[in-house]
Chains A and B, each alone.
Chain A
């Protein structure tokens, strides 16, 4: 390696450049990446660059070590000076100026007045008081500052060289037209972002020096440039402060007249961190512009209107398209206020020569809440940095991206927040992701199926509730029920132990009572249900001995036939039970007459004579007031086995009567005669047009009936029936009067029908009454029952 002697200035400069390129801090720099960018920025042809790399030995080594790098830089300087590239000349040329680098990637480069590295250019700066170097000069990308030895290198940076170049305004004229409308009075605006320092560059594009000169001439405080009216305030440009050379490190700090203080510098440097920030004035301006298109600030600007508006800025369609892509955050084809401001801001930036970012800068995003560190913060290379307005006091010095996050809370506050958060997350992917996350099934908070709880007891409902409870227990994750399973099991056991008597029916009824209260009783009701369902057979077996009165059959939990069962059960012994409740005696104990009729018949046989019979019937009557009717039947059944009052069928009755009469005739002629008399009496009582022979019988029956004045209506009716039936046997007897008898019997049957119908209705009425009584009893039972279970 050729020995290389560098002047102090060169040494410093080169080291800074090396450090800049050595991002990995490995003390050697790869040939790609920053080094190549740097070399290309030297505005040398590629061939020259290749030659240089060859010469310095990097191609040999494959990378740039520090010495190679320095050699390369020297060669670049040589090339830029127009001297032939010779290794020998490395050390020979004494007055070689420092290499100049134009750090710009696009055509804007050309417009950059970059060249401050030249020592000649440094001239104007040298006289400046040393000290602060303002980085914000647009052109000062590179740090070419190192030429100013007195200038302190940037407070932080180690990579002074590359400042994102800012391009001087490309078409300030257009801008003026674009902005003229609002430019009135804008002169005093804080020139925040697009450093708008451009005016000098308007004519100064070719002449960086002049620009410098201008800059050096003016060192107004940074904030004065009106970004809007940059076109018309060249002299007042405050270039120094604005330079969007927004290097995070603010390396290209220029010395500025002592007006600059550390704070300002810090502000600038840190303000640089968010070069895309929209100042309040800018924002207000944007809002005004928005209003010209769309009066409603919360409304949307349609794409076509926005297109027209932004086309006025004379930016190429491709760039406008890109700006649109960046700013239309929710991709809806329309611009909200925030989106519009972002788009406008980007247009302004672009007009001022800043490259458009690849991604929307954070400060331009509508209503950010979560910040992505990497998003939008300008990278040193491509991002154009709008210097933040000096107004922002951000203590952060570090140029790195994370600083943006720290700044954000402050910045955010200053931004009006028009957008709702929905804008942020409106991309289809995030939307779908959100949707999928919205309602995760959480078993703990499962929506409980509403279980209807009837507050008033009703049989049907109780039954339903019981069924539902049993079913729901199995299927339902409801906590109250699920929490109870152990309790339930215990309760079932307890219930089984306790509840034997009156299990089924009582349980059913008590469950309804529990529903009126809260869940616990319900579960207990379930328990009861379970218990009783599980234990009812057991209970029945065990309970068999103690027979409580309201005890249904084993299979019934609620048996409407309860009473009827009792009735039927008691019927056989009915005649023996005087204290029986008023039951419809006629209907249920239908077979009774036949049953009792036989014994009675037998008795009557035994007891000779009608009086005996008649006496028996009255005897029976007081014993069985309810069955008095049937005693009548019994009486008649001897020679006319009485059919059940329920279903009198004439033929059947006739048959039976005939049969009984047939059977009994021989044995009991007397009796039969008496009975016939009785029947005839009865029949006579019922229907006058009866045959004369039966009349005495009827009269007898009638007397018998009269003997029983206290007989209920039903018995009377049954007697009527009996008499009607009794008349029938007369038919076979009086053959000669068949027709009349038949007609009579027909009439009788009809009457019997009507009587029976009436009887039926009355029985129905009694049934209803009894059911109501039952309900009331059940209610009482329910009321009593919870106490027993508490």
Chain B
């Protein structure tokens, strides 16, 4: 269960960010922002293979004492960032991957909507519902 989920556009501005409200969203925003550096670093490392065969799932970007940050970057340079609570029973890698997969699928659905202009904030209810299912069920 994620504590915060963010979608960042190619130009590194957020398209969608949502976090469990109880814990002060500003902190998560900051975390997500700093994780972008790590994403860039990971991507540049793969470098030569460039787009083909680069795996979309970037894995654990960096852990802090409270939580872990996972990253995923699509081929169109749209980044998904999931922040997971460390105290949570550590989610297996597969589960994180499946979360990213679901995110990617619903993001694709949003992009397919002709009324959505790429670069706009994502306001799709379907996307919201998917994200809700993944968030910690904090009421």
Given contacts A303-B113, A324-B114, A331-B112, contact A428 B123 (CB under 8 A): no
Identify A333's interface contact among B105, B112, B125, B126, CB under 8 A. B112
Q: Chain A residues near B30 (CB, 8 Å)?
A: none
In the complex the two chains form, what is the Cα distance from A707 to B113 in whole Å?
112
Contact with B along A635-669 (1 / 0, CB 8 A): 00000000000000000000000000000000000
Q: Does B109 contact A (CB under 8 A)?
A: yes
Q: Chain B residues near A333 (CB, 8 Å)?
A: 112-114
Q: Which residue of A lies closest to B106 (CB)?
A: A331
User: Closest CB-CB distance, B113 to chain A, in whole Å?
Assistant: 5
Q: How many residues of B contact A (CB 8 A)?
A: 12
In the complex the two chains form, what is the Cα distance from A332 to B112 in whole Å?
7
Identify B116's interface contact among A310, A321, A332, CB under 8 A. A321
A328→B113 contact, CB < 8 A: yes
B125→A322 contact, CB < 8 A: yes
**CB-contacts of A304-338 with B (<8 A):** 304, 306-307, 310, 317-318, 320-322, 324-325, 328, 331-333
Q: Which residue of A lies closest to B117 (CB)?
A: A317
User: Closest CB-CB distance, B76 to chain A, in whole Å?
Assistant: 16
B105→A321 contact, CB < 8 A: no
Q: Does B88 contact A (CB under 8 A)?
A: no
Q: Which residue of B lies closest to A301 (CB)?
A: B114
In the complex the two chains form, what is the Cα distance from A303 to B115 in whole Å?
8
Q: Chain A residues near B112 (CB, 8 Å)?
A: 303, 328, 331-333
Identify A320's interface contact among B115, B125, B126, CB under 8 A. B115
Given contacts A304-B114, A306-B114, A333-B114, contact A321 B109 (CB under 8 A): no
User: Closest CB-CB distance, B6 to chain A, in whole Å?
Assistant: 21
Q: Does B124 contact A (CB under 8 A)?
A: yes
Q: Chain B residues near A296 (CB, 8 Å)?
A: none
Interface size class of A (residues with CB under 8 A): 10 to 19
Q: Which residue of A lies closest to B110 (CB)?
A: A325
User: Closest CB-CB distance, B111 to chain A, in whole Å?
Assistant: 9
Q: Which residue of A lies closest to B111 (CB)?
A: A333
Q: Which residue of A lies closest to B102 (CB)?
A: A429
Q: Chain A residues near B114 (CB, 8 Å)?
A: 302-304, 306-307, 324, 333
Q: Chain B residues near A321 (CB, 8 Å)?
A: 113, 115-116, 123-124
Q: Does A538 contact B (CB under 8 A)?
A: no
Q: Which residue of B lies closest to A306 (CB)?
A: B114
Closest 9 CB pairs of A and B: A303-B114, A321-B115, A333-B112, A307-B114, A320-B115, A324-B113, A331-B109, A325-B126, A324-B115
User: Can you list 24 A-B contacts with CB-CB less than 8 angstroms, sorted by A residue number?
Assistant: A302-B114, A303-B112, A303-B114, A306-B114, A307-B114, A310-B115, A321-B116, A321-B124, A322-B124, A324-B113, A324-B115, A325-B109, A325-B124, A325-B125, A325-B126, A328-B112, A328-B113, A331-B108, A331-B109, A331-B112, A333-B112, A333-B113, A358-B125, A428-B105
**Given known contacts A325-B109, A331-B108, what 18 new A-B pairs fall within 8 Å (CB)?**
A302-B114, A303-B113, A306-B114, A310-B115, A321-B113, A321-B115, A321-B116, A321-B123, A321-B124, A324-B114, A324-B115, A325-B113, A325-B124, A325-B126, A328-B112, A328-B113, A333-B114, A428-B105
